[in-house]
Amino acid sequence: MMRYAHIVGWGCYLPNRLVTNDELSTMVDTTDEWIFQRTGIRTRHIAAAHETTATLAFEAAARALTVADLNPSQVELIIVATSTPEYMFPSTACKVQDYLGASRAGAFDLSAACSGFVYALQMASQSIATGAVRNAVVIGSETMSRVIDWSDRGTCVLFGDGAGAVVLKGSSVPGGVMATTLRSDGSGADLLSLPALYHNPVPIAGAEYSSNGHHKNIIDMDGRQVYRFATNVIASSIQDVLKKCELTADDIALIIPHQANTRIIEAAARKLKLPMEKFYMNVEHNGNTSAASIPLALCDAVSEGRLRPDDNIVFVGFGGGLTWAASIVKWDVTPPEISFVDHEWKRVRYIMARGRSRLRRWQRRVEANMVRSSGNNKEPGN
Ligand code: UT7
């Protein structure tokens, strides 16, 4: 039985455009000093007009599949954790499935805000553990820049865009995703929210409304309260998941937390009596990329050589919902050498996948026209 879900591939994508704190200080009343001291953030990436949550997710997933050496046609499940989908449906995951040409994959989005990646990892690893699928692509992808009020200095300095992905593969060898703890507390829903595009008839207390009575499609956050919540749940969820695995903090090589604010992690480290070196941080470069932040940090940790085979690592996420989650993963791969030719050849595969997709769309249109012109377009019951 292939019941252990191992991470065998990882990939990330960041848009080219880099926005510095100084640039933000020309837009709102802030300074590089304030932002860096209070959050640890110096820069963030912002998606170009032609980029979407789905295109970012596709880029990250394609890279992860290259590392995993897995053909898209073999992928069985795609989960995209995101709070910034383009549509309620089709899901971002379905768009990624199409871009990849992953013709045999089930695909859906998962909404758990900044904890989304850890939630999705758990869903995918359990699907592998039960034998429902043999592999899965788990992606965290966000275009936070599209849901920010760029005149609100309390939030616009915090967030960034990006995507990270991992490929999970079933194996009979013990390892991979070992234990996970998922938690939520909906009584804190008003502390951090992003209304859906069309208004919800039952408003959340404290959520913002535009003058026509509809929700504004922007993030609303009570920073101080979320800060307090985060420092508590990071420590408790790490302790919880360690207990599930019968491990202690000494057995953990690296903790990769959701990258929201360096001060939050420093406070959590103090609570856990752990040195900051145990925590991997890259919030300085990417800002808070919500569900994408953990897989983005994982990619950086791997490329900096911070992970070795047999290391136990912890992912810990926290955010809107309120939600929080932690996972222990045994890291058991060494990054493969990928030649330029191999990489480029795999890109050709995706151009072909887009061609096939276009062809299918065209075929559907032709068939619909043929049915119409043959007079077979009567309403049911007519
Ligand atoms: O992804 C998970 C969810 N998000 C988080 O984890 C975020 C959690 N919260 C935080 O990280 C912090 O609360 C913030 C970084 C958002 C804010 O830091 P803070 O130390 O809690 O500041 P504050 O909200 O208490 O504000 C202190 C002061 C205020 O001025 P007054 O009222 O003291 O005069 C703010 O108006 O700082 C002011 N302020 C700013 N000043 C310059 C708020 N934003 C800015 C800014 N530049 N960008």
Break the chain into its structural domains and give their ranges. 4-193+216-331, 339-369
Q: Which helix (H) or strand (E) holds 348?
A: helix 340-373
Residue 279, beta-bridge partner list: 255
Radius of gyration of the chain, Cα coordinates, nearest whole angstrom: 21
Q: Rounded to two decimals, what is the model's pTM?
A: 0.93
- Interval between CA 169 and ligand 1 midpoint (Å): 41
Q: What percent of the chain has pLDDT over 70?
A: 92
With the most atoms of ligand 1 within 8 angstroms of its CB, the residue from 224, 225, 266 to mutate is 224
Confidence band for 197, pLDDT divided at 50, 70 and 90: low
- Interval between CA 298 and ligand 1 midpoint (Å): 27
Which of 88, 123, 79, 108 lies closest to 194, judged by CA?
88
- Interval between CA 232 and ligand 1 midpoint (Å): 18
| Structure tokens that stand for 238 in this block | 């790490």
Question: How crowded is residue 189: how many other Cβ atoms within 10 Å of its Cβ?
Answer: 16
Q: Could you confirm whether domain 4-193+216-331 is CATH 2.30.30.90?
A: no
Ligand 1 neighbours by CB, cut-off 6 Å = 30, 34-35, 38-39, 114, 153-154, 157, 192, 223-224, 226-227, 230, 260-261, 264, 288, 290, 319
Q: Is the peptide bond before 257 cis (omega within 30 degrees of 0)?
A: no
Q: Would strands 192-193 and 176-184 be described as parallel, antiparallel, or unpaired?
A: unpaired
pLDDT over threshold 90, residue 71: yes
- Interval between CA 158 and ligand 1 midpoint (Å): 9
Q: Which atom of ligand 1 approaches the CA of 156 most closely?
A: 48
Question: How crowded is residue 182: how many other Cβ atoms within 10 Å of its Cβ?
Answer: 17
For residues 43 and 21, is the Cβ–Cβ distance under 8 A? yes
Query: Average pLDDT for residues 276-295, to the nearest whole number?
Result: 98
Predicted pLDDT of residue 1: 67
Predicted pLDDT of residue 178: 96
Predicted pLDDT of residue 207: 52
With the most atoms of ligand 1 within 8 angstroms of its CB, the residue from 37, 227, 318 to mutate is 227
Q: Is the peptide bond before 195 cis (omega within 30 degrees of 0)?
A: no
Q: Tell me, what DSSP letter sits at residue 220?
A: E
Residue by residue, DSSP assigns 301-329 as: HHHTT---TTEEEEEEEEETTTEEEEEEE
Q: How many residues does the chain have?
A: 382
Query: Any idea which residues carry the catalytic annotation?
Result: 114, 258, 288
Confidence band for 198, pLDDT divided at 50, 70 and 90: low
Q: What percent of the chain has pLDDT over 90?
A: 85
Q: Tell me, what DSSP letter sits at residue 288?
A: B
Residue by residue, DSSP assigns 87-127 as: -SSS-HHHHHHHHHT-TT-EEEEE--GGGHHHHHHHHHHHH
Least confident window among 184-198, 199-213, 315-329: 199-213
Q: In this structure, which amino acid lies at residue 165?
A: A
Predicted pLDDT of residue 200: 47
- Interval between CA 381 and ligand 1 midpoint (Å): 61
Predicted pLDDT of residue 334: 76
Predicted pLDDT of residue 376: 62
Q: Whose CA is nearest to atom 44 of ligand 1?
A: 154
pLDDT over threshold 80, residue 216: no
- Digit-coded pLDDT (tens) for 234-260: 999 999 999 999 999 999 999 999 999
Query: Average pLDDT for residues 332-348, to the nearest whole number?
Result: 83
Which of 165, 121, 110, 117 lies closest to 5, judged by CA?
121
Q: Which residue has the higher pLDDT, 114 or 371?
A: 114
Predicted pLDDT of residue 332: 87
Query: Average pLDDT for residues 36-40, to the nearest whole number?
Result: 97
